[in-house]
């Protein structure tokens, strides 16, 4: 297991978020003690002057850029302009400031949404620019994809050691369960748990259920990101995933069973499904990092369901 010198200064943008908390926990487990986690209330990373202040304060040797404005299909359809601007601006300012300050390493976490809509399966890193992303999340995906090009250009011209990582959809305890902005797994968990609590016999889900997705447990993603931070210095992007896909119908059926919902699932085909299929080729991460995901989907879902059930129980007691 790769470790970090205690004195190495690591700035983790988005370190207080779902993935960020897991990454910071893994960094500390491996010996990193000098972590700086900027808060959005103090540092608006879409603004160049705020990013300069952040670097003045943190004096980082390494930057791991996880901060993002992101959501599910509904949020992407509602905020395409904001998602493009915010994600593009944050990355551009952070990478430029990293160049100015000559940081040792910049880790950019991208998104599977950057891949072309009809990308051949499994998605290989070489296919990133072979088509336009699925339209409902294209502004977000293109912004993230462009930052990988920026890092490559900065490596070539300025010698900035920047790496680009592409995780699939993440899930697990601590996820965003807000029905207005959550991704598919927390959205489904909440729907089925609410249906059980309210004694409903039907749960309505978006799309026709035929699309497929690949999911990566958040702690596995953190392990991969921290391993890459410690050991990977190449310009080639790395996919991070399990290499396995599941249809949304099968996912919903599994979550219904884990939440003990025994009613009927109704599909609203008037709502979008998003990208038809997603499954990554993870062989490059296996060969370059010696890393593979270790958490099975059902096991991870069981933990996520338990987390939400415990949290919703606490909230009900607090309200009562």
- Does the pLDDT of residue 55 top 70, yes or no? yes
Q: Is residue 1 part of a domain?
A: no
Q: Which are the contacts of 156, defined by CB distance < 8 A and separation ≥ 6?
A: none
pLDDT at residue number 136: 85
Model pTM? 0.94
- Does the pLDDT of residue 111 top 80, yes or no? yes
pLDDT tens figures, 245-264: 999 999 999 999 999 999 99
Q: Is residue 289 part of a domain?
A: yes
pLDDT at residue number 76: 80
Query: Range of 18's domain?
Result: 9-319
CB contact burial 75-101 (16+ within 10 A = b; e otherwise): bbeebbeebbebbbbbbbbbbbbbbee
- Percent of all residues in the chain with a pLDDT value above 90, rounded to a whole number: 87
Q: Is residue 3 part of a domain?
A: no
**Vertex 9, ends 26 and 51: CA angle to 5°?**
105
Q: How many domains does the chain have?
A: 1
Q: Is residue 108 part of a domain?
A: yes
- Does the pLDDT of residue 72 top 60, yes or no? yes
- At residue 179 the predicted structure's pLDDT band, cuts being 50, 70 and 90, is confident
Q: Is residue 110 part of a domain?
A: yes
- Does the pLDDT of residue 211 top 60, yes or no? yes
Could you give the residue numbers annotated as active site? 140
- Does the pLDDT of residue 65 top 70, yes or no? yes
List, in sequence order, every residue forming a beta bridge with 238; answer none if it has no partner. 165
Q: Is residue 4 part of a domain?
A: no
Q: Is residue 253 part of a domain?
A: yes
CATH of the domain at 151: 3.40.50.720
Task: Give the span between the Cα atoms of 276 and 260, in whole angstroms.
Answer: 28
pLDDT at residue number 74: 80
Average pLDDT, the chain: 94
pLDDT tens figures, 80-99: 999 999 999 999 999 999 99
pLDDT at residue number 6: 86
- Does the pLDDT of residue 151 top 80, yes or no? yes
Q: Is residue 186 part of a domain?
A: yes
């Amino acid at each position: 297991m790769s470790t970090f010198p205690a004195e190495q200064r690591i700035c983790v943008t988005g370190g207080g978020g779902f993935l960020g908390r897991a990454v910071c926990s893994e960094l500390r487990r491996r010996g990193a003690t000098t972590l700086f986690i900027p808060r959005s209330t103090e540092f608006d990373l879409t603004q160049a002057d705020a990013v300069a202040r952040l670097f003045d304060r943190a004096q980082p040797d390494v930057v791991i850029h996880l901060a993002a404005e992101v959501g599910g299909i509904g949020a992407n359809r509602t905020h395409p302009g904001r998602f493009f601007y915010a994600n593009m601006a944050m990355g551009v300012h952070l990478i430029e400031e990293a160049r100015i300050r000559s940081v040792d390493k910049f880790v950019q976490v991208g998104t599977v949404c950057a891949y072309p809509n009809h990308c051949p399966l499994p998605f290989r890193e070489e296919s990133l620019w072979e088509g336009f992303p699925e339209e409902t999340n294209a502004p977000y995906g293109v912004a993230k994809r462009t930052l990988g090009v920026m890092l490559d250009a900065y490596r070539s011209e300025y010698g900035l050691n920047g790496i680009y990582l592409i995780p699939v959809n993440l899930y697990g305890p601590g996820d965003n369960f807000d029905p207005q902005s959550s991704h598919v797994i927390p959205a489904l968990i909440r729907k089925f748990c609410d249906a059980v609590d309210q004694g409903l016999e039907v749960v309505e889900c978006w799309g026709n259920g035929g699309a497929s997705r690949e999911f990566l447990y958040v702690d596995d993603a953190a392990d991969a990101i921290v391993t890459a931070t410690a050991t990977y210095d190449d310009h080639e992007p790395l996919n991070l995933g399990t290499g396995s896909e599941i249809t949304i119908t099968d996912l919903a059926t599994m979550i219904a069973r884990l939440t003990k919902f025994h009613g009927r699932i109704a599909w609203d085909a008037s709502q979008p499904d998003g990208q038809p299929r997603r499954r990554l080729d993870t062989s490059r991460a296996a060969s370059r990092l010696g890393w593979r995901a270790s958490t099975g989907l059902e096991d991870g879902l069981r933990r996520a369901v338990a987390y939400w059930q415990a949290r919703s129980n606490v909230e009900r007691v607090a309200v009562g």
